[in-house]
Structure 1
Amino acid sequence: MVSWHHQEWNAIWAFLIGKDFGAFPAYMLAAVHPERVSGVITLGIPFMLPGPSAARNQQLPQGFYITRWQEPGRAEADFGRFDAKAVVRNIYTLFSGSEVPVAAEDQEIMDLFDPSAPLPPWFSEEDLSVYASLYEKSGFRFALQVPYRTLNVDCGITEPLVKAPTLLIMGEKDYVRKFPGIEDYIRSGAMKQVVPDLDIIFMPEGSHFVQEQLPDQVNEFIITFLGKHSA
């Protein structure tokens, strides 16, 4: 999602907003073309350089969901046992929690779903139907290919630097914070070595889907950031 800031002749400056894996292209564009980016806002994911070290799968259990979904054909077989609406329901229910989804050796990720679990209160049956209708048309193959199966591809950047003003919005109850090293990376200030002009907002009740869960608050943070850096 892009908010155009200023255009003069052939120069365009933009604010980039990326949620989850959308943070990767936002940060990379700002690093590669700093002259084109006025600011970066990401939700749920701090700066991480795409490549072999991005997911750190070796530090996570065998049944970690990213590891499972990176394996060609495995998620397709898992998802294929259900219709699109059930898959979307399962994902929203599983991934709105504060724990990292990890399957046992004899399980697949969809097996972790509890059929009696209600949808999150901020995600309606109407929302579910709309989302599911999109995947009924497209399937899940591309969503698995990008980003999961391209996450470890070396992006060719060795010393990234994001000079643009940056805002990271994280939910305190986002399961991503429990990935190895993520919490310390964010709170210790280490991220500022790559993104020096960084502000971080932690939302106490926020989940991984914070923009859907608390849209008014998230919009307020974004508008405030844009106003601060648009002059």
Structure 2
Amino acid sequence: MDKSFERCLAFIVGKDFGALSAYRIGVLHPERVSAIITLGTPFIQPGPSVVQNHLLPEGFYISRWQEPGRAEADFGRFDVKTVIRNIYILFSRSEIPIAAADQEIMDLIDPATHLPPWFSEEDLSVYASLYEKSGFSFALHVPYRKLKVDRSLIDPKVSAPSLLIVGEKDYSLKMPGVNNYIRTGAMKHLVPDLDVKFIEEGTHFMHEQYPDQVNQLIIAFLGKHGA
């Protein structure tokens, strides 16, 4: 192996469930990480308790999508473009997606609902073309159906400087304990060198909704830490 590669330090950026992987790298390989930037998701100890499904109703979207075959049957009622459209509309709201007993997750969207103004029909077509090739199986399996796998770490401290960017209107802030965990500074027990920035009108897709603002926060953080 090239010795220069062994000395290489990385700046890692992760969004949503990708943030869990970014933090995990920071825990397991601190000597390789210069800094970590995550969007929307704080550092949570991986394992069966990563998402508190039992604290939310049965119709909680993650619980539904963890059931083998259920999301596939739900999505299969629609073309791929409609599924992507529904997901963007649903996840752009400030409420946790929860279906009633007689509903599936896709039923939460009125077909007449417009896309968010920052997500164009052209964007939708591009995203849909990718999923038309790949399907949704892998996206459902990882991460949703792998969340309960026990990957607990001993003393999971992230020593690298870290930036967490959160949309104030991201529905995930309403998941049990998440808002307090971020705002009270409890996360700093695991990520001591942490900076948290909030985007006032930001949703779960704040990086697409406010790309310039998110990019400026990232660039400023990278500049501060030598990138």
Compute the TM-score of the two structures, normalised by the length of structure 2.
0.97
Report the AA paired with residue 135 of structure 1.
Answer: Y
Deviating more after overlay: 9-18 vs 57-66: 9-18
- Cα displacement (A) at 1:178: 0.1
Q: CA RMSD in A?
A: 1.0
- Cα displacement (A) at 1:104: 0.2
State the SS of the aligned residue for 2:72: helix
Structure 2, unaligned runs of 5 or more: none
1:173 paired residue among 155, 169, 176: 169
1:129 paired residue among 114, 121, 125: 125
Question: 1:67 matched to which residue of 2?
Answer: 63
In the alignment, the residues of structure 2 paired with residue 84 and residue 125 of structure 1 have an alpha-carbon distance, to the nearest angstrom, of 14
Report the AA paired with residue 228 of structure 1.
Answer: K
- Cα displacement (A) at 1:187: 0.6
State the SS of the aligned residue for 1:17: strand
In the alignment, the residues of structure 2 paired with residue 22 and residue 163 of structure 1 have an alpha-carbon distance, to the nearest angstrom, of 18
In the alignment, the residues of structure 2 paired with residue 21 and residue 189 of structure 1 have an alpha-carbon distance, to the nearest angstrom, of 21
Report the AA paired with residue 10 of structure 1.
Answer: E
Between the aligned residues of both structures, percent identity stands at 67
- Cα displacement (A) at 1:10: 2.4
2:88 paired residue among 55, 79, 92: 92
Structure 1, unaligned runs of 5 or more: 1-6
Distance change in 2, residues 1:9/1:65 (3 Å) = closer
1:216 aligns with 2:212: yes
1:163 aligns with 2:156: no
1:117 aligns with 2:113: yes
In the alignment, the residues of structure 1 paired with residue 100 and residue 56 of structure 2 have an alpha-carbon distance, to the nearest angstrom, of 13
CA contact (8 A) 2:163 2:196 kept: yes
In the alignment, the residues of structure 1 paired with residue 152 and residue 94 of structure 2 have an alpha-carbon distance, to the nearest angstrom, of 33
In the alignment, the residues of structure 2 paired with residue 9 and residue 139 of structure 1 have an alpha-carbon distance, to the nearest angstrom, of 35
Distance change in 2, residues 1:117/1:9 (3 Å) = closer
In the alignment, the residues of structure 1 paired with residue 177 and residue 111 of structure 2 have an alpha-carbon distance, to the nearest angstrom, of 32
- Cα displacement (A) at 1:211: 0.3
- Cα displacement (A) at 1:8: 3.4
Report the AA paired with residue 90 of structure 1.
Answer: N
- Cα displacement (A) at 1:9: 5.2
Question: 1:182 matched to which residue of 2?
Answer: 178
CA contact (8 A) 2:45 2:152 kept: no
Deviation by residue 1:152-193 (Cα, 9 ceiling, x = unmatched): 111141320000000000000000000000011001110000
In the alignment, the residues of structure 1 paired with residue 154 and residue 146 of structure 2 have an alpha-carbon distance, to the nearest angstrom, of 18
Distance change in 2, residues 1:9/1:62 (3 Å) = closer
Question: 2:50 matched to which residue of 1?
Answer: 54
State the SS of the aligned residue for 2:49: coil
Question: 1:103 matched to which residue of 2?
Answer: 99
1:142 aligns with 2:138: yes
Tell me how many residue pairs correspond in the alignment.
225
Runs of 4 or more above 4 Å deviation: none
